[in-house]
Amino acid sequence: MNNLILEVNDVAVAFGGVKAVNGATMSVEVGSVTSVIGPNGAGKTTLFNLISGAIKPDSGTILFQGFEIQKLLPHKIADRGIVRTFQGAKVIKRLSVLENLMLGAQNNPGDNLINFFNPRARNAFEKQARERAMALLKQVGIERFANDYAGILSGGQRKLLDLARALMAEPVMLLLDEPFAGVNPTLVEKLLEVLHALRTEHHLTFLLVEHDLETVMNISDRVVVMAEGRVIADGLPNSIYENQAVVDAYLGTRKLNS
Amino acid sequence: MTAILQPGFWVFILTMSGIYGIFTLGLQVQYGVGGILNFGHVGMMALSSYTMAILVIAHGFNFWIAAASGVAVAALGGAFLGLTTLRLRGDYFSIVSIAFSEIVRYVIFNSDGLTGGSQGSLAIMPIGDAYPSYTDTWDTILYWIRDHLTPIFGEVADRDMAMGILVWITLGILLFIVSRVERTSWARVLRATREDDDVPSALGKNVFRFRLQAVIIGSIIGGIAGIYWALQVTLLSPDDFLTIVTFYAWMILILSGATKVKGLAIAAIFFGFLYGGTRFFTFWPFSVFDASQRSYMRIMIIGIVLIVLMIRRPQGIFGKREEMVLE
Ligand SMILES: Nc1ncnc2c1ncn2[C@@H]1O[C@H](COP(=O)(O)OP(=O)(O)OP(=O)(O)O)[C@@H](O)[C@H]1O
Ligand SMILES: [Mg+2]
C-alpha cells in the first residue's frame, strides 16, 4: 500500500502521573534513516520501548510492515525483525563478549532443547555464527576482547558490543538509542560507514535517537522532534530549523555549523 | 562410637551423598545456569517417590513404569510451579516454591487413604495381600550386584554397597549429560536471563520458555533423586521431605560454586561427610549435651563450617572468582 515500514499512531503511555509518551504519531519509510531528537525526558527512549514491546501502550497502535505489533511480546517483535540497542548499552556481564554476540544469532537450532540430540546441526550453526560474530567484533573494533567477560568492557566498548549484537540478529529495522554518545569521533565515522553499508547492501531501515545534531543532519533522511511526550515536528533535516516550536523546545538559539 | 570404624557406615554416607548430588544437580540447572531461586525442590522428590510407591504398592505397576511415572509427575509439578509463578518476579517464585513443597508434604501427610499419611508408605493399602513394598524389582538387581561384589570385597559387600554404586553411576551419567546441555546455546540464553530479561527478549528469545524448561529439567532430575531416595530408605515418610532437605542441596550447590557442575560431586561428598561425621561428635564438649541437643548442634556446626568456607572462598570450591566481581 505504501512504503512505510513503521507507523506509530497516537500512542500514549503513562507511568503513574508521568505521561511519558502522550499521543505520539510518526512513521518511518522503508530503507530510510530516521532520527528522533528532543530534550531529555521527551519520551524518546519510551517510544523505543513501546516499539520494541518492552512496555505496552495505554492507547494507540503501532504497525510494522502493516501488522499491528503493539500487543506482541518483545521476542515476537524481534522475530519480525525489529531489533534495538539500549541507551547506555546493556551487556550480559557474566557472558564473554563473543557469547553476548552469539545471543543475537537468530533461529539457532541449539536454542531448542530437542536439538540437544542433533549435535551436528547445532555445531554447524555455532561455527558459522561464531565466524560472523568475530567479523562483527572486528568491524566495531573490540575483537581482542572476544573471550573476556563483557563485564570488563568500558562504557564505550559496551555500546559497540550492544550495536554488534543487534547487527548479529540481522534485523529488518534497527532501533539505536544514542549509539554514538561517548564513542570516540574516529570510531563514530567508522560505525557510520558500517551502517551505511548495511543500508545500501541489506536495505536496513534505521530509527535512531541522537543528541548530536551534526551527525543527525548528516545521516538522516527524516527527523522527528519530540517534546513532552508528543511529536512536535517531523520533516526533512533542514526543515526543522525553520520550525519555531522546535527552536523553542530543543534547539534554542543554536544553529548548525555556526 | 563403633559405627565410625565400620565401612558400612561410610558406604551409607557415600550413597546418601550421591543421592543428594543428583538432587542438587536439578537445582544447579535452575540456579547455576538460570539464576532461578527454587526453595521448593524437595517437593519434586516427594512427588516422584510417592507416585512410584503408590503405583507399585497399591496398583501393582511394574517398577520401571512406576518410576518413570514418578519422574513424569515431578516434571508436571515443575511445569505447574513454573507456569503459575515464573512470569512473576524472581523473589515471588522463590516464596511460592517453598509453599509448593510444603503443600505437597501436607497433602501427603493428610491423605491417609492414598499415601499412608503420617505412617508413611508402610500404610499404603497394598494390592491383594502383598507386603507394602516397592523395592522388590530393585532389590533383585542389588542382590545380583552384591553377589558379584562378594568375591572382591568379601563380607563388606552388601545391598548398600550395590546401591551406592548404582547411585554414583547415575550421578556420573547425569553430570555428563547436564555438562553437555550446559554447553548448548540453550544454556547460553538461560545464562543471559540470569542477569537480564530485556536483552534476550530484544534478541527474540522467549525468556519465559527458557526458564520454564530449566525448571522442568531441574524437576526431572529432582524426581530421579526422589526415586533413589525411596529405594534407599525403603519406607517413605512425609518427614523425609522437609524444607531443610532443599536447603541441604543449596549448601552443596553453594559449596561447589553454583555456575559449574564440575565441583558438585565433591561438594556432595564433603557435605555427606560433614553431615554424617558430625554424628560422632559425642566426645567432650559435645558430651555435655544429650542426643537431641547434639543433633541440633550438628546442624549448627555444619552451618558454621559453611559460613567460614563462604568467607574464605565465596565462589565455592570450584567456582570462578572473577564471575563474582563483575559490575
Ligand atoms: N519506567 C518508568 N517509570 C516511570 N517513569 C518513567 C519510566 N520510563 C520513563 N519514565 C519517564 O518518562 C519520561 C520520558 O523518559 P524517556 O526515557 O523516554 O526520555 P528520553 O527522551 O529518552 O530522554 P533522554 O534524552 O534523557 O534519554 C521521563 O520523565 C521519565 O522520567
Ligand atoms: Mg533516552
Instruction: Please give the pLDDT value at position A240.
Output: 79
How does pLDDT run across B212-261, given as a tens digit for each residue? 999 999 999 999 999 999 999 999 999 999 988 898 899 899 888 877 77
CA-to-CA separations, A12 to A26, A43, A61, in angstroms, rounded: 12, 10, 9
Pick from B202, B217, B70, B52: nearest CA to A76: B202
- What's the CA angle centered on A169, arms A220 and A135, to 5 degrees? 90
> Whole-angstrom Cα distance, residue B244 to residue B45?
13
Strand partners, A223: A35, A235
CB atoms within 10 A of CB B288: 8
> Checking phi first, is residue B151 left (phi over 0); if not, alpha (psi -120 to 50) or beta?
alpha
> Whole-angstrom Cα distance, residue B280 to residue B127?
42
Residue written as cell 504398592?
Answer: B57
> Whole-angstrom Cα distance, residue B45 to residue A121?
35
CA-to-CA separations, B92 to A185, B42, B89, B98, in angstroms, rounded: 46, 18, 6, 10
Give Cβ neighbours of residue A202 (< 8 Å, ≥ 6 apart).
Answer: A170
- Tell me the H-state helices in chain B: 7-27, 42-59, 63-85, 90-110, 112-115, 136-153, 159-181, 185-195, 198-202, 207-233, 243-256, 264-277, 291-312, 322-325
Size of interface A-B (CB pairs under 8 A): 96
Instruction: Please give the pLDDT value at position A190.
Output: 82
The one-letter amino acid at A218: N
Is residue B285 reached through a cis peptide bond, with omega within 30 degrees of 0 on the bond before it?
yes
Instruction: Map residue A63 onto helix, strand or coil.
Output: strand
Most confident of A234-243, B177-186, B306-315: B177-186
DSSP code string of B265-290 = HHHHHHHHHHHHHGGG--STTGGGS-
Out of A69-83, B49-63, B113-127, B282-296, which region has the weakest mean confidence (pLDDT)? Answer: B282-296
> Whole-angstrom Cα distance, residue A199 to residue A172?
10
How does pLDDT run across B117-139, given as a tens digit for each residue? 888 888 888 887 778 889 999 99
* Strand (E) or helix (H) holding A7: strand A4-15
Q: Look at residue B106 and tell me if it is in a domain.
A: yes
- Whole-number Å distance, alpha carbon A230 to ligand 1 midpoint, is 13
How does pLDDT run across A96-150, given as a tens digit for each residue? 999 999 999 999 999 999 999 999 999 999 999 999 999 999 988 899 999 999 9
Kind of pairing between the strands at A67-68 and A18-29 = unpaired
C-alpha torsion A184→A190→A191→A193, nearest 10: 150
What's the pTM?
Answer: 0.91
The one-letter amino acid at A57: P
- The structural domain count of chain B equals 1
How does pLDDT run across A27-41, given as a tens digit for each residue? 999 989 999 998 898
* Strand (E) or helix (H) holding A27: strand A18-29
Give the domain ranges of chain A: 4-89+171-251, 92-152
Q: Is B289 on the interface with A (CB under 8 A)?
A: no
Residue A149 DSSP label: B
- Whole-number Å distance, alpha carbon A19 to ligand 1 midpoint, is 9
Chain A residue numbers touching B194 (CB-CB < 8 A): 94
Ligand nearest to the CA of A50: 1
**From the CA of A83, how many Å to the nearest CA of chain B?**
6
Strand partners, A226: A231
- Whole-number Å distance, alpha carbon A237 to ligand 2 midpoint, is 20
Instruction: Please compute Rg for chain A using Cα positions.
Output: 19
Pick from A86, A81, A91: nearest CA to A179: A86
| φ, ψ for residue B214, nearest 5 deg | -65, -40
Return the residue of B nearest to A86 by Cα.
B199
Pick from A199, A151, A143, A206: nearest CA to A173: A206
Q: How big is chain A, counted in residues?
A: 258
Q: pLDDT tens string for chain A (258 positions)? A: 468 999 999 999 999 888 999 989 999 999 899 999 988 988 999 999 999 999 999 999 999 999 999 999 999 999 999 999 999 889 999 999 999 999 999 999 999 999 999 999 999 999 999 999 999 999 888 999 999 999 999 888 899 999 999 999 999 999 999 988 888 888 888 888 888 888 888 889 999 999 888 888 888 999 999 988 899 888 888 887 777 777 777 776 555 444
Q: Is a pLDDT exceeding 60 seen at residue B299?
A: yes
Give Cβ neighbours of residue A245 (< 8 Å, ≥ 6 apart).
Answer: A225, A227, A232, A233
Helices B207-233 and B159-181, interaxial angle, to 10°? 170
Atom of ligand 1 nearest to the CA of A48: 18
Q: Look at residue B58 and tell me if it is in a domain.
A: yes
CB atoms within 10 A of CB B304: 10
Return the residue of A nearest to B327 by Cα.
A151
Q: Look at residue B296 and tell me if it is in a domain.
A: no
185-204 in chain B: CB under 8 A from chain A: 185-186, 188-189, 191-192, 194-196, 198-204
Domain that holds residue B124: 14-241
> What is the dotted CATH code of the domain comprising A4-89+171-251?
3.40.50.300
